[in-house]
Structure 1
Amino acid sequence: MNAKDEPPRTPPGEGTGAGADDEWDYSLQIPHDLRGAGIARCTLRAVLHAYGLAPMIEVAQLVAAELVANALEHSSGPVSLRLHWRARNLRLGVWDTSPEKPEFLTVTDEAEHGRGMWLVTGLAAAWGCHLLGEEPFGLSGKLVWADIAAESAAA
């Protein structure tokens, strides 16, 4: 088979029925490894690109990386990232094993850390935290979520 005989190639998400108006969910389980934030960014980039949501990638990656990095830094167990797309809104949810809510630190201009939740607040349309008690299947810790609207992320 030569190049003329090959079927035309379409970018991911095009011609497959997948698109920005669909509803979908993805979850990524991350072991307690500081490389997890980078893996979360790469996974998020691939998913958003596949659904034709490239204008959201930069903002979504920054928010997801901050939430995952915070979870890895402040907990001792695994972390989970969930992507939830509904009504042109991306909800990023990060679960970890720590029962402590995220903190807003007072930082100086010279500080190298402590701006993460300020960044999330500035970039996300909304965010919140749910503490999880001991659930029937052993789930505890917290879920921190952030919403990113397609229109605001593209701007």
Structure 2
Amino acid sequence: MVTVVLPDTWVYALRLPHDPRAARVARMTVRAALAGHGMHEVVDVVEMLTSELVTNAYLHTRGPASLRLTALSDGRLRVGVWDSHPHIPPPFDKAPPVAPVSPAPLNADGGRGLHLVQECADSWGGWALGDDVLGRGAGKLLWFEVRTG
């Protein structure tokens, strides 16, 4: 009998169109991938934070976005969301530790997403990606990590 040993590292990537349904597709993808890898304890947090970053990509850009889930060998899960806009919003524009982002007023329609990432993720950050070969801005990558074990 052959024993199959599953790797402890893996990567999933998903290209998302500029579509208001992209956050829902990203949530479904996160839920399926993490459940498939037995990471039930972090599904809700990762799903929520991913939804926030993908929603921001949709609201603040006109182009597509990409989602990347990476299980790292030391028990961390990294989630990255790329979009075509080069601006890195606070607090992602500074290396942790930084002062907490103030929560949005109770009657505000938005403004809670990055505060949630800062409060719920173990680490987070962002990178501007410079210019592509045609001299156009290549956008940015915002990421967060959570411990899975």
**Would you say same fold, with TM above 0.5?**
yes
Counterpart of 2:139 (choices 138, 141, 144) is: 141
Q: d(CA) in 2 for partners of 1:91 and 1:106?
A: 24
Describe the SS at the equivalent of 1:26.
strand
Q: Give the CA RMSD over aligned residues.
A: 1.9
Question: Cα distance 1:16–1:68, how it changes in 2: closer, same or farther (>3 A)?
Answer: farther
Whether the 8 Å CA contact 1:93–1:145 is kept in 2: the answer is: yes
Counterpart of 2:78 (choices 78, 85, 91) is: 91
Describe the SS at the equivalent of 1:112.
coil
TM-score, normalising length: structure 1: 0.80
Between structure 1 and structure 2, the one with the greater Rg is: 1
Matches within 5 A, 1:3-152: 17-18=5-6, 22-86=8-72, 87-103=74-90, 107-136=104-133, 140-151=138-149
User: What is the aligned length?
Assistant: 135
Unpaired segments ≥5 residues, structure 2: 91-100
Question: Cα distance 1:134–1:22, how it changes in 2: closer, same or farther (>3 A)?
Answer: same
TM-score, normalising length: structure 2: 0.83
Whether the 8 Å CA contact 2:86–2:137 is kept in 1: the answer is: no
Describe the SS at the equivalent of 2:5.
coil
Question: Cα distance 1:16–1:65, how it changes in 2: closer, same or farther (>3 A)?
Answer: farther
Shift of 1:88: 1.1
Shift of 1:42: 0.3
Whether the 8 Å CA contact 1:131–1:143 is kept in 2: the answer is: yes
In proportion to residue count, which structure has more helix?
A: 1
- Give the letter aligned to residue 92 of structure 1: V
Choose 50-59 or 134-143, whichever is displaced more. Answer: 134-143
Runs of 4+ deviating beyond 6 Å: none
Whether the 8 Å CA contact 1:132–1:142 is kept in 2: the answer is: yes
Alignment deviations for residues 80-109 of structure 1 (CA, whole Å, 9 cap, x no partner): 000011121110000000011124576212
Whether the 8 Å CA contact 1:105–1:114 is kept in 2: the answer is: no
Question: Cα distance 1:75–1:105, how it changes in 2: closer, same or farther (>3 A)?
Answer: farther
